[in-house]
């Protein structure tokens, strides 16, 4: 193959038939999630009232390394997969770096982000189990859009709580969800107890993923034949996303290279886990020397500045207690444009891997993220999602380091989504109106002190 190949694609039959369950290979398994009431380790059955049964089992599966992708899900993957692995010649040139930069382009999915990889799986399992309605929360609207489409594919009704700031900043994501037939409510809303409580205490609150999760779970629990779905954080979501890294492994082989570094932006960890885990497998099993870098916003720095402890996944404390790096479930992130990264915690698998030194994290300020996004757009012709800009910024930092040292490192990053529905954010950047948000140690400590030790 020519060494100037730009894009690497797999044939349909080469699309993986199995997801990779890293929990089975981890030396130190994630600590168990705890029941919020009894504080006892959770059993899959405890999750059945909220999630469908199959994903509940997947969530706690620490033994099966490979989990088969159901045929109907794989058939739908073929509508947009394989996604291209792209050699970023344009970006390399713009940076004048000796590094070889590759990105996996998940923005080509019908909804513009990686989120569909798990939405299709979750909607399929719900349909299989006779569930008729699904509910969820969404920040920037990426997950909501993915779930709305997946629900339509598998004949389910979808109700989505969208974080109010995003509902207002990103009206076209709401239109997309509605186009696919979902019912969309801005959160906090007066339609749930969790929403009413927070609106009573803070009438102007612009919402957070944590609050919207509480509202969606409450709806699932009070609506017959309805289940809740989550687009990030949980282990089964990262499992479904490993299709990204499994494809990328084959595609890197086509390119005749192997990554020295794998980079992804970090909200709850699903696109990071998705691209990283299949490569990390070789680090865990064979000690292969690869760096894994999670890029999180400086205004929501759970991995770089949070604490590893049990915490709730949502604002109101309805979810199980999860052992994770957290800023506290009461943490209200600044209104950055990367709505999908405004979450207080990190998934339990990633948290354990971080604790055990298999990966690292960097924090990126808002302006640096958009500087990176602009450069990438001009060099590669793809306008990245504000979330993905964080991965690009981390990649640029590493590529610049290579320029200093003259090293030809191979960098692989995940382009989790495009920014074509986020142009209002770019408008703000271009008008010079975007700002960085500073968080002091005292801000961070105050939240953690407030929640104390939960288990």
Report the alpha-carbon distance of residue 390 to residue 369 in Å, rounded.
5
Residue 188: is the preceding peptide bond cis (ω within 30°)?
A: yes
Q: Which stretch, 7-15, 56-64, 125-133, 265-273, contacts ligand PLP (CB under 6 A)?
A: 265-273
CB of 303 to ligand PLP, least distance (A): 11
Q: Which stretch, 54-62, 248-256, 268-276, 305-313, contacts ligand PLP (CB under 6 A)?
A: 268-276
Say what angle helices 270-286 and 348-355 make with each other, to 10 degrees.
Answer: 40
Is there binding between residue 113 and ligand PLP (CB under 6 A)?
yes
Q: Which stretch, 126-134, 136-144, 275-283, 313-321, contacts ligand PLP (CB under 6 A)?
A: 136-144
**Which of 126, 150, 219, 265 forms a contact with ligand PLP (CB under 6 A)?**
265
Dihedral angle sign, alpha carbons of residues 105, 368, 233, 246: positive
Residue 249: is the preceding peptide bond cis (ω within 30°)?
A: no
Is there binding between residue 266 and ligand PLP (CB under 6 A)?
yes
Report the residue number, 112 or 320, with the smaller CB distance to ligand PLP: 112
Q: Which stretch, 127-135, 148-156, 259-267, 439-447, contacts ligand PLP (CB under 6 A)?
A: 259-267
For the record, the structure tokens of 443 come out as 């801000």
Q: Torsions phi, psi of 104, nearest 5?
A: -95, 120
Q: Torsions phi, psi of 178, nearest 5?
A: -70, -35
CB of 1 to ligand PLP, least distance (A): 30
**Which of 105, 229, 299, 416 forms a contact with ligand PLP (CB under 6 A)?**
416
Q: Which stretch, 50-58, 135-143, 246-254, 285-293, contacts ligand PLP (CB under 6 A)?
A: 135-143
Residue 148's H or E segment, with its range, is helix 142-153
Is there binding between residue 142 and ligand PLP (CB under 6 A)?
yes
Size of the site for ligand PLP (CB under 6 A): 21
Residue given tokens 């953690």 in the structure block: 448
Helix count (H) and strand count (E) of the chain? 18, 15
**Which of 16, 268, 297, 333 forms a contact with ligand PLP (CB under 6 A)?**
268
Report the alpha-carbon distance of residue 123 to residue 49 in Å, rounded.
16
Catalogue the E-assigned strands of 110-221. Answer: 133-138, 157-163, 183-187
Report the alpha-carbon distance of residue 138 to residue 215 in Å, rounded.
11
CB of 139 closer than 8 Å to CB of 167: no
Is there binding between residue 395 and ligand PLP (CB under 6 A)?
no
Q: Which stretch, 8-16, 177-185, 384-392, 429-437, contacts ligand PLP (CB under 6 A)?
A: 384-392
Is there binding between residue 292 and ligand PLP (CB under 6 A)?
no
3-state helix, strand, coil in the chain (%, to 5): 45, 20, 40
**Which of 211, 352, 388, 425 forms a contact with ligand PLP (CB under 6 A)?**
388
192-to-135, 141, 174, 293, 317 alpha-carbon distances in Å = 13, 20, 20, 38, 14
**Which of 58, 185, 270, 348 forms a contact with ligand PLP (CB under 6 A)?**
270
Residue 2's H or E segment, with its range, is none
Report the residue number, 254 or 377, with the smaller CB distance to ligand PLP: 377
Is there binding between residue 321 and ligand PLP (CB under 6 A)?
no
Is there binding between residue 269 and ligand PLP (CB under 6 A)?
yes
CB of 6 to ligand PLP, least distance (A): 22
Is there binding between residue 306 and ligand PLP (CB under 6 A)?
no
Q: Torsions phi, psi of 452, nearest 5?
A: 65, -160
Is there binding between residue 104 and ligand PLP (CB under 6 A)?
no
CA-CA-CA-CA torsion for 30, 36, 38, 42, nearest 10 degrees? -40
Binding track over 223-242 against ligand PLP, x by CB under 6 A: ---------x----------
CB of 363 to ligand PLP, least distance (A): 14
**Which of 385, 394, 411, 421 forms a contact with ligand PLP (CB under 6 A)?**
385
CB of 274 to ligand PLP, least distance (A): 7
**What contacts 27, CB < 8 A, 6 or more positions away?**
284, 356
Full strand arrangement of the beta sheet holding 133-138: 183-187, 157-163, 133-138, 226-228
CB of 139 to ligand PLP, least distance (A): 7
Is there binding between residue 417 and ligand PLP (CB under 6 A)?
yes
**Using CB under 6 A as the criterion, which residues of the chain lie in contact with ligand PLP when the complex forms?**
113, 115, 140, 142-143, 232, 265-272, 340-341, 385, 387-388, 416-417
């Amino acid at each position: 193959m020519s060494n100037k190949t730009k894009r690497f694609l797999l044939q349909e039959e080469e699309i993986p038939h199995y997801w990779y369950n890293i929990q089975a290979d981890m030396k130190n398994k994630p600590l168990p999630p705890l029941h919020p009431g009894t504080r006892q380790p959770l059993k899959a059955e405890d999750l059945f009232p909220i999630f469908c049964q199959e994903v509940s089992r997947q969530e706690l599966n620490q033994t099966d390394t490979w989990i088969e992708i159901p045929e109907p899900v794989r058939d739908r993957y073929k509508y947009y997969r394989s996604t291209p692995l792209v050699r970023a010649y344009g970006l390399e040139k713009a940076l004048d770096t000796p590094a070889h930069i590759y990105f996996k382009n998940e923005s080509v999915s019908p909804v513009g982000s990686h989120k569909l990889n798990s939405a299709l799986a979750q909607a399929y399992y719900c349909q299989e189990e006779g569930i008729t309605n699904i509910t969820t929360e969404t920040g920037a609207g990426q997950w909501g859009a993915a779930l709305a489409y997946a629900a339509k594919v598998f004949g389910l009704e979808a109700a989505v709580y969208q974080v109010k700031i995003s509902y207002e900043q990103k009206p076209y994501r709401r239109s997309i969800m509605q186009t696919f037939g979902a019912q969309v409510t801005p959160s906090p809303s007066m339609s749930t107890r969790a929403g009413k409580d927070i609106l009573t205490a803070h009438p102007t609150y612009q919402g957070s993923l944590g609050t919207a999760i509480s509202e969606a779970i409450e709806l699932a629990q009070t609506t017959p034949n309805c289940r809740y779905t989550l687009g990030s954080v949980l282990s089964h979501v990262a499992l479904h996303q490993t299709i990204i890294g499994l494809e990328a492994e084959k595609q890197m082989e086509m390119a005749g290279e192997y990554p020295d570094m794998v980079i992804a932006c970090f909200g709850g960890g699903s696109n990071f886990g998705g691209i990283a885990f299949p490569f990390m497998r070789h680090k865990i099993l064979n000690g292969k020397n690869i760096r894994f870098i999670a890029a999180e916003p400086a205004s929501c720095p759970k991995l770089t500045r949070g604490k590893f402890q049990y915490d709730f996944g949502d604002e109101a404390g309805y979810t199980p207690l999860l052992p994770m790096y957290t800023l506290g479930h009461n943490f209200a992130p600044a209104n950055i444009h990367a709505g999908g990264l405004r979450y207080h915690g990190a998934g339990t698998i990633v948290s354990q891997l971080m604790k055990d030194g298999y990966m690292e994290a960097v924090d990126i300020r808002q302006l640096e993220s958009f500087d990176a996004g602009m450069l990438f757009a001009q060099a590669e012709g793809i306008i990245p999602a504000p979330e993905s800009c964080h991965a690009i910024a981390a990649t640029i930092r590493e590529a610049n380091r290579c320029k200093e040292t003259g090293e030809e490192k191979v960098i692989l990053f995940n382009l989790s989504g495009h920014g074509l529905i986020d142009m209002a954010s770019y408008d703000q950047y271009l008008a010079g109106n975007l700002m960085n948000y500073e968080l002091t140690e005292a801000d961070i400590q105050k939240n953690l002190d407030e929640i104390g030790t939960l288990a």
